Amino acid sequence: MHSARYDYGQNGKHERINFLSNNEKVPPKQKKGIVVGVIVALLVLAAVAGVLIWLFVFKANSGTTLSSRRSPRTIVFSGHMKLADVPFDQKLEDISSKEFTDLASNLEDVIGECIKKDSFLAKYYNTSVVTAFSHGVIGFYWSKFDVPGSDLEMVPEFSEERMLDALETAVQGSRSIMSPRSLKISEVTAALTDPRMARNPRSVECFYVLEAEEGKIKTFASPGYPTGYTSKSRCQWQIRASEKNSILVDFPIFYIEDYCPDDFVYIYDSLSSDEYQAITQKCGQRPPSNPLAVASSGNFMLINFIIDSDVQRPGFEAQYTAIPLSNVTTCGGILMETEGVFTSPLYPRFYPPAVDCKWTIKVAPGSKVRVKFTMFRMKEPRVDIHVCHKDYVEVMGTKYCGEMTSLALTSNNNVLEVNFHSDKSYTDKGFSAEYSAYDPADPCPGKFACASGICIAKERKCDGWNDCGDMSDEIKCKCDKEQFPCDNGLCKPRMWVCDHVNDCGDGSDEKRCSCEENEWRCGNGVCLPQDVVCDNKQDCIDGSDEASCKSSPGICSEFSFICNNNECVNKVNAECDRVNDCSDNSDEAGCDCGTRPYKLNRIVGGQNAELGEWPWQVSLHFMTNGHVCGASIISDKWLLSASHCFVTNDPANHVASNWQTYSGMQAQYKQDGVQHRAVKTIISHPNYDHMTFDYDIALLELSDPLQFTNTIQPICLPSASHVFPAGTSCWVTGWGAQREGGQVSMMLQKASVKIINDTVCDMVTEGQVTSRMLCSGFLAGGVDACQGDSGGPLVCFEESGKWFQVGIVSWGEGCARRNKPGVYTRITKLRDWVQKETGI
Ligand code: ARG
């Protein structure tokens, strides 16, 4: 990051940067054309003067001027300076002491005098406030400038360089400053800061000084917590600890508005709001599974709480304590076991700023080292992840930063060095890594060795999923019976063939999908001779060969699509198939649904969903519990979910205001592109039975409509007559547990499941299914929805090019057990109820 600082101290901690002097900035003059230039300039000046006179003299009298319509701006610089000959006195840490007040006002005068020497800054200067002193002696300050609306074009002139130039007069000691006590200043920093964070500790409103102590955990909370904060809140906490300590702050509960420019918490590794020493800025709600927890690199920390929106949220609750600084900065070492785990300092808490660690992994000669990062998050604003010029992990000459889902590396010999670097500003969760020694001749005993060096279970080779992360487990496969051999040598589950997703990567699984010309394609994809159609015998399992025989209006059956004008269309799945079947075209109305704008390729495999892959998926958060249920978008104002998420023993579950909805979400901890809406009403089906889970359906009305985007789209609801034949491959998605008894997932998960025949479903569930339910999954087990997926959608892709929601995740015996498929609410049976309640 660009850093503008002067450093006159001896510790060499700050970079010294030379700025261009004014002379250097002027380009060499050219004599040619000077005369012409002068004349042109005079003419331009005259014209400008004319316009200005008109604007200010005539226009001013006749009403509003341009300038009076522009609102004034406040500019604030924050930073610190080192006071070379002031001895440190403990009383300086107490803002109510006379020592503090005297030195602060002395330093404020010095700063003011310096600023006044720059005629530009002097013109707009308002005030300077010294907010704290710490060992060193370091004084923390901010200076404020007011720019009237008429001078807004001057705002870019307020540069950090200019401010530092002004303060340099104090540093150079050429003091003509008549201050009561002379101060020798040796280091200065200045950073442009959000004026909302400039607080005067001497005006007591929402300003706190806290003392962190070793072995003691103390707490503080945002104002109004947990009922809710008020708009225009401005609070600041200065936390201090004794020397040679680091401060740890955890936020077990963190729930503020989503829109960061208005509402945020900004934490600094300093006692001034200096961007160059920011630890992090956060807004939104954090699930308990991913709490915010930070650490300082020294014995102080500053926390700002800024609220501007009118939306009321609970706020935060924080715990703080101190630990010896050596616990924070001593990291790295020599690792000589055959396997082990190492992490960034303080993991899973944010690592502290300004630390360097080096791990040397040394295994037996002849062996090699493999390192797999199970978590890697070192993201900073304005950092190019190809360069990693700020915080990074360096292995074998390559720097890694940003966020990585799979990073595995192997050494060239028996020693591997891993370096970790964090600079002075912005920190993140860091990393956790597993290392192990391996024999290059047999790198994965009993397992399969990926090209990247990691080992995976043998069964995972050639199973159609990219388990290695580099596809090396999916090439050169001999496909078994259950698998489809792609033209490029990959094997994919047969059920992925002709599902409109290019699973092979070369399109070969989607190539030969339609039936021959003289054949009829049943709803489940089976091709039969054309003459089975309308022979008064059901040949296709789904009866599709007979369903379209009498398309004359008036003849209605259970399988007919009923048009708005009550005509019947006897054709399988007539709605939204891009063919006008009803004379009033109502079968093609309301078909703006079930499409995903993002182009996706499932070839990368794994089970994490890609961004925008399931744009109708919604995460429902309950009070401060984080994600608890799923839902789907059926219109900009309505979501579909499961009744059992809301009708429980706890009446709080049925209170709309206890729920928050997040649309467009992929990772639970990411806010980008996510639209957050409150719930206005919850309508659960009146016949919902909590014993049998019958009628497990609910509608949520949103407080404000959603804006559809690439990652936020409604799903199509099937009409009551829509058929989803047994055997169809559909998809279930959610943040539910990845195994029975597990915790909810951070990343949205997807699983391909098959619609199971009703007779089989009835058998395996021992008669527990009603006609409002359907089974989907695999009788062999292994793939299923699980706890936390409830309320989420089961969707199928239709030939017509649209996705339809067939079911709502409802229940199951355990998860992914053999002969225990997932049970879903059957939407076709409840379609009319949805229509009645919402008009959709
Ligand atoms: N009832 C569960 C929930 O609340 C969902 C169960 C789905 N189970 C299954 N095996 N498909 O999240």
Alpha-carbon distance of 381 to 279, in angstroms, equals 11
Amino acid at 283: C
Q: How many CB atoms lie within 10 A of CB 216?
A: 10
For the stretch 17-45, pLDDT in tens is 333 333 333 333 343 444 444 444 555 55
Q: Which residue has the higher pLDDT, 544 or 765?
A: 765
Q: What is the pTM of this model?
A: 0.59
Q: Which atom of ligand 1 is nearest to the CA of 814?
A: 10
> Residue 36's Cα: distance from chain center in Å?
58
What is residue 549's predicted lDDT score, i.e. its pLDDT? 63
Mean pLDDT value of segment 315-322: 97
CB 632 within 8 A of CB 616: yes
Mutate to test the pocket of ligand 1, among 622, 735, 810, 825 (most ligand atoms within 8 A of CB): 810
C-alpha of residue 732 to centroid of ligand 1, in Å: 11
| Position in ligand 1 atom list of the atom nearest CA 820 | 10
SS3 433: strand
Q: Which long-range CB contacts under 8 A does 180-184 form with residues at least 24 apart? A: 180/106, 180/109, 181/106, 183/83, 183/85, 183/86, 183/106, 183/107, 183/110, 184/83, 184/84, 184/85
Contact 519, 527 (CB under 8 A): yes
Task: Supply the angle between the helices 160-171 and 98-116 in degrees, to the nearest 10.
Answer: 110
- What is the arithmetic mean of pLDDT over 397-415? 88
pLDDT at position 352 over 80: yes
Residue burial 97-114, b: 16+ Cβ < 10 Å; e: rest: eeebeebbebbbbbbbbb
Which is the catalytic residue, given 684, 719, 790, 810? 790
Range with the poorest average pLDDT among 406-410, 557-561, 775-779? 557-561
**Atom number of ligand 1 nearest to Cα 628:** 12
pLDDT tier, 106 (very low <50, low <70, confident <90, very high otherwise): very high
Q: State residue 573's pLDDT score.
A: 87
184-236 per-position pLDDT tens digit: 888 899 999 999 999 998 887 899 999 999 999 999 999 999 899 988 899 99
The single residue of 696, 719, 722, 784 carrying the catalytic annotation is: 696
| Residue 756: partners with Cβ closer than 8 Å, 6 or more residues away | 726, 764, 774, 775, 776, 777, 779, 821
DSSP letter at 69 equals: G
Nearest one of 190, 200, 274, 270 to 236, comparing CA atoms: 200
Distance set, CA 215 to CA 331, 694, 765 (Å): 21, 53, 54
The 3-state DSSP class for residue 611 equals coil
Closest by Cα among 144, 136, 77, 133 to 104? 133
Phi then psi for residue 477, to 5 deg, are -105, 145
Where residue 123 falls (left for φ over 0; alpha for ψ -120 to 50; beta otherwise) is alpha
pLDDT classification of 59: cutoffs 50, 70, 90: very low
Higher per-residue confidence, 244 vs 203: 244
Which residues contact residue 515 at a Cβ distance below 8 angstroms, ignoring those fewer than 6 apart? 521, 527
* pLDDT at residue number 513: 72
Tell me the per-residue pLDDT of 450-470, one tens digit each, with 9 for 90 and over. Answer: 887 778 888 778 766 667 767
Whether 421 is catalytic is no
**Binning pLDDT at 50, 70 and 90, where does residue 526 land?**
confident
Candidate from 786, 820, 824 with most ligand 1 atoms within 8 A of CB, to mutate: 786
The reply to whether 654 belongs to the active site is no
Is residue 299's pLDDT more than 50? yes
Sign of torsion, CA 165 170 176 178? positive
pLDDT tens by residue, 547-600: 666 544 456 777 788 999 988 887 778 899 888 889 999 999 999 999 887 644
User: At residue 256, what is the residue type?
Assistant: I
The span from the CA of 198 to the CA of 141, in Å, is 9
Mean pLDDT, rounded, of the chain = 84
Q: Is 621 a catalytic residue?
A: no
647, 752, 790, 817: residue to mutate for ligand 1 pocket, most atoms within 8 A of CB: 790
Residue 380: alpha-carbon gap to chain centroid? 13
814 Ramachandran zone, left/alpha/beta (phi>0; psi -120 to 50): left
Compute, in angstroms, the gap from residue 789 CA to the centroid of ligand 1: 6
% of the chain with per-residue pLDDT over 90? 52
Q: Which residues' Cβ are closer than 6 Å to ligand 1?
A: 736, 784-790, 809, 811-812, 815, 822
> What tokens does 556 get?
């209605």
